[in-house]
Amino acid sequence: MKILVVEDEEHIAQGLVFNFELEQYQATVAPTGEEALRLFGEGDYDLILLDVMLPGIDGFEVARAIRQVDARVPILMLTAMAADEDRIAGLECGVDDYLTKPFVLKELMLRVAGLLRRAAWQAPATPDQRSFSFGQAEINPENLSAQIGARTHQLTRIEFDLLRYFMMRPGRLVSRKELLTAVWGYEPNTATRTVDTFVLRLRKIIEPHPSKPVFLISIRGAGYQFNPEI
- Site residues (vs Ca ion, CB under 5 A): 8, 51, 53
Cα 52 from Cα 103, distance rounded (Å):
14
Residue 53 or 88: the one with the smaller Cβ distance to Ca ion is 53
Cα 136 from Cα 123, distance rounded (Å):
27
- Residue 157 Cβ, how far from Ca ion at the closest point, in Å? 26
Helix (H, G, I), strand (E, B) or coil at 96: coil
DSSP for residue 183: I
- Residue 101 Cβ, how far from Ca ion at the closest point, in Å? 8
To the nearest 10°, report the CA torsion of 226, 162, 219, 199.
Answer: -110
Residue 39 or 53: the one with the smaller Cβ distance to Ca ion is 53
Residue 59 or 74: the one with the smaller Cβ distance to Ca ion is 59
- Residue 115 Cβ, how far from Ca ion at the closest point, in Å? 20
Of 115, 101, 193, 192, which Cα lies nearest the Cα of 158?
A: 115
Contact 39, 64 (CB under 8 A): no
- Residue 78 Cβ, how far from Ca ion at the closest point, in Å? 8
Residue 51 or 207: the one with the smaller Cβ distance to Ca ion is 51
